[in-house]
Structure 1
Amino acid sequence: MSTIVEAGAQAPEKPLGMRKNGKQWHAPKKAFRPGSGLTSYEQRAKLRVAQQLVKAKEKEMKDEKEEERQRRITALKEKRAAKEEKERYEKMAEKMHKKRVERLKRKEKRNKLLNS
């Protein structure tokens, strides 16, 4: 008896028949209802606030990433400059006395501090 009730609960779909334009392979369309997609002002306002939060978080993440990138770039530049300067002093040490090179180093360091 339960099988009869289950079978009766499912209403069989009514066959649509042949389409007038003869394009049976297309999916059947629903009626055009222009007002069906409209939302209330409160819903739009909530959605707008949520989008602003997402954008703010994305901007924050992008800024952090760019800051990290810039930090790595400056560290690399400083490292290269230090290496270059060290090589320059080594070249000078080959030609002149060690004490004189040390004096020049201190003098250049003072000038850098004064100029910057």
Structure 2
Amino acid sequence: MSRTSIRTKLATVAAAGVMALGTGVLAASPAGAAAAGGTFANCSYGAACIYGGANWNGWPKEYFTRGNHPFYNQYGVKRVFNNQSPGWYAQLCRNGNGTNCDITIAPWTYVDVDLTPYNSLRIVGP
């Protein structure tokens, strides 16, 4: 499982672009196109999203409301992205009733994790 902040990824991409261009100017900043507070990779702002694989491809399943969200037939490594405002966390839980949660995903962060042993996503916040 790997945890990577979207800001870290975008900063890396932006730095590489500036270095590649030398004294040139970037036409559009990747951070500007995917700033925190907006839709990113088809995941609406305010949602926790589960993608079909360990990538940003396709339309993810979105979860918006506080509390437990059971899910079914999720096997193998998937990307889980928390596109929520500060203070709101997504947790992956082994039980369908939102208990035995052992992975917590901070806002604007994603994890690639084998969902086979997990049966729900819980959203917690202020």
- Does the TM-score normalized on the shorter chain lie above 0.5? no
Higher relative contact order by CA 8 Å / sep ≥ 6: 1 or 2?
Answer: 2
Which structure would you say has the larger Rg? 1
Specify which structure has the higher proportion of helix: 1
More strand by share: 2
